[in-house]
A and B are shown apart, each in its own frame.
Chain A
Amino acid sequence: MKKMTTITAMSLLAVSPVAALAQAEFPSRQIELMIGFSAGGNLDILARQAEPFLEKHMGGADIVVINRPGAGGALMQTQLAGATPDGYTLGLLSMPGVVTVLFGGDVDYGVDDFEYSGTFTFEPHSIMVGMDTPYETPEDLIAAARENPGEVTIGGAGIGSAAHLAVKVLERAADVRFSFIPSPGSAEMQNQVMGGHIDGGVTTISSSYTRHQENQARVIGTLSGERTSVAPEIATFAEAGYEVEWGALRGIAAPKGTPQEVMDKITEAVRLTLEDPEFQAVAEQNNMLLRYMDGDQFEASVRSVYADLEEIWAEEPWVEQ
């Protein structure tokens, strides 16, 4: 009994000053930055390019990037939600994937389980069509879908993926119906578009724009309000009157309960990284579209996309239950 009290007392003594010390001195040990996708993907490249800059702007911190692929990122996000909220376990989130996996699956984390830090990039999705199709502008495509509802075939990575929900969002904004053709990934979809097997497809602008430049496919518009810096001549669906903003927003998050001081330090490091001319050069080389949001803006964006999806799900759930 006596032994027990001593241990309790000792741990009480130990916890409070150490915790305070940890915050004051954060980071005092290695930080794990988890990624929910395999090495070599877009998110992995971003993490590995940003890592040395984050270290530099966090006062020489030691950050290690760890791939925890599985379930479209949900495996990593679940681990992140359950990790100790001390700032030493972080995750690089990719919207809208963080919230799309919450529908129709076995995933048990929520948007409330994270503290949000800064974002690095926002890359809008875009619609590409085959060279033999008659569609040149967003208006052409929407008009065709209006004339023949459910006959224009648009491909993209699987049901419930960001690409699929992009089509849903566009359908609702323009009040039309496409025939969505799911494929295992963006590369397979692009092959089908180029081979003329489907009319068009949805993917992020940097990958569709490469095909556009090679004259293998035509990008008719991005699903965003503003034109992008990588492809300034590509029109937006917003210009044609269809208000959609859909793309990959990538930023850092930590488990709920991570101290505010720690979050501020991380967010500040993200901000300084994006302002670093060296990082900007790296980003340009890798066709990254930089977009900084602070934690509050990031969280607001996540919540707004989640709310939109909840609305769509309530009306037309995309996975049969």
Chain B
Amino acid sequence: MIEDLLSAAVALMAVENVVAMVLGTLIGIVIGALPGLTTTIGLAILIPLSFGLSPLVALGLMAGLYNGSMYGGAIPAILLNIPGTPAAIATTFDGYPMTQQGKAATALRIACYSSAVGGLVSAFALLLLAPPLSMVTLAFGPPEYFWIAAFGLVSIAVLIGGDPIKGILSALLGLLIASVGMDTVTGRIRFSFGRLELVDGVNIVVVLIGLFALPRVLQMAEDAAMTGVRVADLKIGRGDSTPVAVRPLIPTWTRSSIIGVLVGILPGAGGNIAAFLSYNEAKRSDRDPESFGRGNPRGVAAAEAGNSSDNAASLIPTLTLGVPGNAIAALIMGGLLVHGLQPGPSLFRDNSDIVYGFVLQMMITSVLLFALGGMIATRIFAQVLRVPQVMLAPMIVALMCLGLFTVNNSQFELFLMIGFGLFGYVLTQMQFPLPPMILGVILGGMAEQNLRTALLISRGDWWHLLASPISKGIAGLVVLVLLVPLLRMLRQWRATARDGT
């Protein structure tokens, strides 16, 4: 492992890899800072475009974009009370009050440092946990993989968004899409409508781009925001020259980073939940909880360290098991697949140079935030807020189509992508969460394949599914997660019953 790390580190020193990381981080900050653009849309555009690049350069861009955008989202959150990404919602709570008090510069600097610290801790967690986990996963056979996929599916459906019913429906739609194509267990072809393009199933990258980029673009066009933010509204202030007092923030950082890493490893939650949880925890444990929401620097630090420490950690199950826990991890997985890298135990064995390189890139791009997110740079990044959003929409569509076409030279996939985009747009209008659907596509095939393989091996004995202790453990977790909405309902019912009397 040490050897792999060293050789990966040497490879990363090549000029193109350094440029990729710096550029990726810069693009990430800009994308995060633009309220219309999020990490998911940024990755959805970048992945097909990066197809022609060498895998390490492409992954460097992705790592930078991921970490950069998590900080970028804080810029409008602090300056304008508009979260640039969903993960930056909690940053507005104390960030904007600080701006109102004329402390915008300090708030931005704290956000930047906190993002960097969170990202770094997260990358260390990935480095320490993923390789040993990838060795253990050989012990995972079809029954274990079935339960893992089932666990991912139920937790995403139940935990994402407020409405578990819509979450489950969305995941079921994903399962339906996953059933297209050849059934490996019988060799029969399902739902291909005679199109050879669908025999291998729906290309996951097409679904990712269609669902995550197009609905957002259509919404931008619909909003038709012709003007950007006025210069007058962008007051960062001179900023005091005194350095930010780091020491009082260390306990907050520690707590938030641990929360973020744990949230990242569990499927279903993403940066926004990590940020909320660590913000609440910081507030609860503070000596003066009342000061939160009124411009407490620790509030900004908790939110930003929380959402960034989720980043690399969420890739732990993705890289070792091939099970992405949230939409961003699913996109990163798509990015690996485009370059022919199959996540799972074989990734660390057969492509150790690339995977360790990627882990280091997650680390390095976090540190880059210290340099790139400095005051002068942030002033410049804030200017992108002046770009009218309506101008971005056609550019994004062009980039998406161009990128996708280069991957497989297939016109059919372009139409399929647009089809998924329109479908996704209709679903978002109806308040259906899209991440359960994409994870349904990825995990549905995995659950089906492994369930049937397990039954083939056991020659029809269903108890084989619960034979090993690992299977029993994960199956127990599935049941627990399924109980969550029931418990919620029970609590609500009790509350209403109590109110009624």
Instruction: Spell out A's residues near B (CB within 8 Å).
Output: 38-41, 66-72, 74-75, 78, 104-107, 153, 157-160, 164, 179, 181-185, 187-188, 190-192, 194-195, 197-198, 318-320
Contact = CB atoms under 8 A, between A and B. Distances in A.
B187 A160 contact: yes
A319 B184 contact: no
> Top 5 closest A-B pairs, CB basis?
A40-B340, A159-B187, A197-B141, A71-B199, A158-B184
Contact of A75 (B140, B189, B197, B449): B197
Contact of B344 (A40, A72, A187): A187
Contacts of A105: 189, 199
A159 B185 contact: yes
A70 B187 contact: no
Contact of B456 (A40, A157, A181, A190): A181
Nearest to B194: A106
Interface string B107-133: 000000000000000000000000000
B457 A106 contact: no
Contacts of A188: 344
A160 B183 CA distance: 11
B186 to A, nearest CB: 6
A183 B453 contact: yes
B410 to A, nearest CB: 7
A208 B140 CA distance: 20
Contact of B184 (A71, A153, A184, A190): A184
A185 B342 contact: yes
B409 A68 contact: yes
Contacts of B200: 69-72
B408 interface: yes
9 contacts: A69-B200, A70-B199, A75-B199, A106-B199, A159-B184, A182-B453, A183-B449, A191-B346, A319-B187
Interface string B185-228: 11111001010110110000000000000000000000000000
B187 A71 contact: no
A66 B340 CA distance: 16
B131 to A, nearest CB: 16
A195 B138 contact: yes
Contacts of A75: 196-197, 199
Nearest to B139: A195
Contacts of B184: 157-159, 182-184
B36 to A, nearest CB: 32
A181 B457 contact: yes
Nearest to B187: A159
B345 interface: yes
A158 B182 contact: yes
B324 interface: no
B142 A197 contact: yes
A291 to B, nearest CB: 25
A195 B349 CA distance: 14
B453 A106 contact: no
Given A183-B453, A319-B186, 6 more contacts: A38-B340, A70-B199, A70-B410, A71-B199, A75-B197, A195-B141
B339 interface: yes
Contacts of A39: 51, 340
Interface string B134-172: 000111111000000000000000000000000000000
Given A158-B187, A192-B142, A71 B197 contact: yes
A138 to B, nearest CB: 23
B202 to A, nearest CB: 11
Contacts of A192: 141-142
Contacts of A153: 457
B408 A67 contact: yes
A198 B445 CA distance: 20
Nearest to B141: A197
Contacts of B339: 40
A84 B342 CA distance: 36
Nearest to B188: A319
A182 B199 contact: no
A145 to B, nearest CB: 15
A133 to B, nearest CB: 14
A88 B36 CA distance: 46
Contact of A187 (B192, B342, B449): B342
Contact of A191 (B138, B185, B340, B449): B138
A191 B197 CA distance: 28
A198 B344 contact: no
Given A192-B142, A194-B138, A319-B188, A107 B196 contact: yes
Contacts of B192: 106
A187 B183 CA distance: 18
A70 B182 CA distance: 11
B206 to A, nearest CB: 12
A72 B199 contact: yes
Contacts of B199: 70-72, 74-75, 105-106
A172 B280 CA distance: 67
Contact of B457 (A41, A158, A198, A320): A198
A33 B196 CA distance: 20
Contact of B409 (A67, A191, A197, A319): A67
Nearest to B55: A40
Q: Which of A78, A160, A182, A185 has the most CB of B within 10 A?
A: A182
Given A39-B340, A74-B196, A104 B346 contact: no
Contact of A68 (B141, B183, B188, B410): B410
B135 to A, nearest CB: 11
A41 to B, nearest CB: 7
Contacts of A78: 196
Contacts of A74: 196, 199
B474 to A, nearest CB: 16
Contacts of A191: 137-138, 344-346
Contacts of B445: 184
